[in-house]
């Protein structure tokens, strides 16, 4: 029995298979075999339907799902007459309107057909609705018989081609663990510093002055005034060369990357990623059925591959490499762009936290130096504002705008207009820039403090290697250790510091940890470091 039925509505296991026939006749007359079987089927059906009144699932869904299950498993045959709505209502102690809704749903989904004066009967070949051919009981349904399951199995099988140190569950663990309230959570901004009042004012004004066009917009590229403001901001702040027509508003950098994969790749294509690299990008590639290859790093950033092997796309984070925190040199940027032009490979530039650099101005974007239209650039407001804002942007070459918008239209339509309008006001009124300036000062102090704490408390085991930028820093191990086990111990103490070894694909892993500093103040950092010293203890020298 499906889990849904088991949790929300009881159907006796005896109902799997044909309904048993009660041969007894308490009225003296001997009905015809077909009528007798139908009457018995209806009686037994009502006997075995039990509603769970405490379930969050509606009564209509409970009853309809149970009847559908009986039809698919053979408990009800084609042509079988269902109980009348009055009979359903009386026996199950539900309103007749509810019973009518059950039959209406079954009819709309093609499981039953209803005729005035004749009641509702199981429709011929209704089992094909769920299986595509002969009926299969849920317990015997094989993954290979489910549409799309074969492709999914093939993509999951790609995980087996990765080295054993690559965790299949790390990204999910990180997503479930990350919170601004969790010390050292990577990628989390300082929510305690967010200008709630000014943002709420802009949101209120956006709703107050919302036009019908804003509420009805179907432009898959997003709110044009915001895209125009973004084109100006990106040109001045990041050296990005684009027009508003090349910008697509998305939910964030991860959404931008997923959209890019849909446009530029097909299952089986080779794609490249920094090694170590961002788990979100790596798992997006694997889930798309792509042939993933890691490209090593050195002091200047991701190395230029000798041969791309027909790769369609290279994912990189040049402004603040994730997770190691290095900044790609200008010489390496030029070499990488020449390589992309020579091999006809596109580059996806994830500029996820480029606004935050603490020892000078940020380097211009890779896209700004691209003379060959090979770079697809992505940024996000979520790291500046707050994670649940779900607002980012994608800059694509002019030649690809139409195809990106076509795929965007069929994936998630258009982004919410009112929130975009509020973001526009936040930028145009100067609140965005003042917020960034204030965060830079705060994050610079928090970065320095965390470096100092690691040096003082963990100096024998860890060394900070990250540049002063972004929201996170990397600390590599000075001696052999099991960083996965130590990270798990920290998580049990409500501290998130992901192990560096989990970010590697093909390069020999380097142990260490990633620490977020943006969302934790001085007191929180010191308290968390106190707990780490306790929970790691002798485990800090655990060998692999």
Tally: H helices and E strands in the chain: 19, 15
Q: What is the mean pLDDT of residues 469-490?
A: 93
- How confident is the model at residue 412, as a pLDDT? 79
- Indicate if the pLDDT at residue 97 is higher than 60: yes
Torsion (CA) 358, 363, 367, 372 in degrees, nearest 10: -160
- How confident is the model at residue 130, as a pLDDT? 39
- Indicate if the pLDDT at residue 518 is higher than 90: yes
In tens, the pLDDT along 38-96 reads: 555 555 566 567 777 777 678 887 888 888 777 776 777 888 888 888 888 888 888 88
With beta carbons less than 8 A apart as the criterion, state whether 392 and 423 touch.
no
In tens, the pLDDT along 190-249 reads: 988 999 999 999 999 888 888 777 777 678 899 999 999 999 999 999 999 999 999 999
16 or 508: which carries more pLDDT confidence? 508
- How confident is the model at residue 217, as a pLDDT? 64
- Angle between helix axes 401-411 and 253-264 (nearest 10 degrees) is 110
- Determine which of 160-169, 217-226, 230-239, 427-436 has the lowest per-residue pLDDT on average: 160-169
Q: What is the mean pLDDT of residues 104-124?
A: 79
- How confident is the model at residue 5, as a pLDDT? 38
Cβ atoms within 10 Å, residue 434: 12
In tens, the pLDDT along 268-316 reads: 999 999 999 999 999 999 988 999 999 999 999 999 998 767 899 999 9
Q: How confident is the model at residue 388 (pLDDT cuts 50, 70, 90)?
A: confident
- Determine which of 121-130, 206-215, 418-427 has the lowest per-residue pLDDT on average: 121-130
In tens, the pLDDT along 490-508 reads: 988 889 999 999 999 999 9
- How confident is the model at residue 141, as a pLDDT? 36
- How confident is the model at residue 36, as a pLDDT? 56
212 or 450: which carries more pLDDT confidence? 450
- How confident is the model at residue 127, as a pLDDT? 43
Most confident stretch, 118-132, 233-247, 401-415: 233-247
Radius of gyration of the chain (CA): 30
- Indicate if the pLDDT at residue 425 is higher than 80: yes
Residues 6+ apart with CB under 8 A from 62: 8, 9, 51, 52, 55
Tell me the C-alpha distance between 282 and 300, whole Å: 21
With beta carbons less than 8 A apart as the criterion, state whether 59 and 80 touch.
no
- Indicate if the pLDDT at residue 409 is higher than 50: yes
Q: What is the mean pLDDT of residues 11-21?
A: 42
- How confident is the model at residue 162, as a pLDDT? 59
- Indicate if the pLDDT at residue 24 is higher than 70: no
In tens, the pLDDT along 343-367 reads: 999 999 999 988 899 987 777 899 9
Tell me which DSSP letter residue 162 carries: S
Average model confidence (pLDDT) across the chain: 80
Tell me the C-alpha distance between 129 and 138, whole Å: 14
Tell me the C-alpha distance between 236 and 243, whole Å: 13
Q: How confident is the model at residue 170 (pLDDT cuts 50, 70, 90)?
A: very low
**What does 224-242 look like in DSSP terms, one character per residue?**
HHHHHHHHHHHHHHH----
Burial of residue 29, with CB atoms counted within 10 A of its CB: 0-12 exposed, 13-18 middle, 19 or more buried: exposed
- Indicate if the pLDDT at residue 160 is higher than 70: no
In terms of residues, how long is the chain?
A: 544
Tell me the C-alpha distance between 424 and 421, whole Å: 5
Cβ atoms within 10 Å, residue 14: 12
Please provide residue 393's backbone torsions phi and psi, each rounded to the nearest 5 degrees: -150, 150
Q: What is the mean pLDDT of residues 111-126?
A: 76
């Amino acid at each position: 029995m499906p889990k849904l039925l088991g949790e929300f509505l009881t159907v006796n296991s005896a109902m799997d298979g044909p309904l048993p026939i009660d041969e007894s006749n308490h009225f003296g007359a001997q009905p015809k075999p077909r009528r007798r079987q139908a009457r018995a089927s209806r009686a037994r059906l009502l006997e075995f339907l039990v509603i769970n009144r405490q379930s969050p699932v509606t009564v209509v869904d409970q009853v309809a799902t149970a009847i559908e299950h009986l039809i698919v498993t053979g408990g009800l045959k084609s042509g079988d007459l269902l109980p009348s709505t009055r009979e359903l209502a009386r026996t199950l102690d539900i309103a007749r309107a509810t019973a009518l809704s059950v039959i209406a749903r079954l009819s709309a989904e093609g499981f039953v057909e209803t005729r005035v004066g004749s009641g509702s009967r199981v429709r011929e070949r209704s089992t094909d609705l769920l299986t595509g051919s002969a009926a299969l009981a849920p317990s015997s349904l094989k993954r290979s018989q489910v549409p799309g399951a074969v492709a999914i199995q093939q993509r999951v099988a790609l995980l087996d081609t990765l080295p054993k140190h690559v965790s299949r569950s790390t990204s999910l663990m990180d997503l479930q663990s990350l919170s601004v309230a969790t010390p050292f959570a990577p990628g989390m901004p300082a929510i305690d510093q967010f200008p709630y009042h000014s943002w709420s004012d802009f949101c209120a004004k956006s709703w107050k002055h919302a036009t019908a066009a804003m509420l009805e917009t179907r432009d898959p590229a997003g709110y044009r005034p915001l895209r125009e403001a973004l084109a100006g901001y990106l040109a001045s702040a990041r050296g990005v060369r684009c027009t508003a027509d090349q910008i697509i508003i998305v939910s964030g950098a991860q959404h931008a990357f997923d959209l890019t994969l849909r446009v530029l790749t097909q299952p089986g294509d080779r794609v490249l990623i920094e090694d170590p690299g961002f788990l979100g990008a790596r798992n997006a590639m694997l889930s798309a059925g792509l042939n993933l290859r890691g490209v090593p790093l050195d002091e200047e950033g991701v190395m230029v591959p000798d041969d791309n092997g027909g790769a369609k796309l290279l994912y990189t984070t040049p402004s603040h490499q994730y997770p190691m925190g290095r900044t790609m040199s200008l010489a390496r940027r030029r070499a990488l762009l020449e390589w992309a032009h020579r091999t006809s490979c596109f580059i996806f530039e994830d500029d996820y936290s480029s606004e935050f650099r603490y020892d000078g101005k940020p380097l211009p974007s890779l896209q700004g130096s691209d003379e060959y239209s090979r770079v697809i650039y992505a940024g996000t407001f979520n790291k500046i504002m707050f994670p649940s804002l779900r607002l980012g942007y994608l800059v694509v070459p002019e030649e690809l705008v139409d195809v990106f918008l076509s795929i965007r239209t069929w994936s998630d339509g258009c982004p919410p207009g009112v929130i975009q309008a509020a973001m526009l006001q936040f930028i145009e009124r100067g609140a965005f820039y003042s917020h960034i300036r204030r965060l830079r000062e705060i994050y610079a102090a928090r970065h320095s403090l965390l470096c100092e704490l690691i040096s003082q408390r963990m100096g024998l085991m860890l060394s900070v290697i990250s540049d002063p930028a972004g929201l996170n820093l990397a600390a590599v191990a000075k001696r052999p250790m099991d960083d996965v086990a130590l990270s798990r111990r920290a998580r049990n103490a409500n501290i998130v510091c992901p192990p560096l070894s989990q970010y590697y694909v093909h390069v020999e892993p380097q142990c260490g940890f990633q620490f977020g500093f943006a969302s934790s103040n001085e007191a929180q950092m010191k308290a968390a470091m106190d707990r780490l010293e306790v929970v790691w203890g002798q485990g800090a020298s655990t060998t692999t």
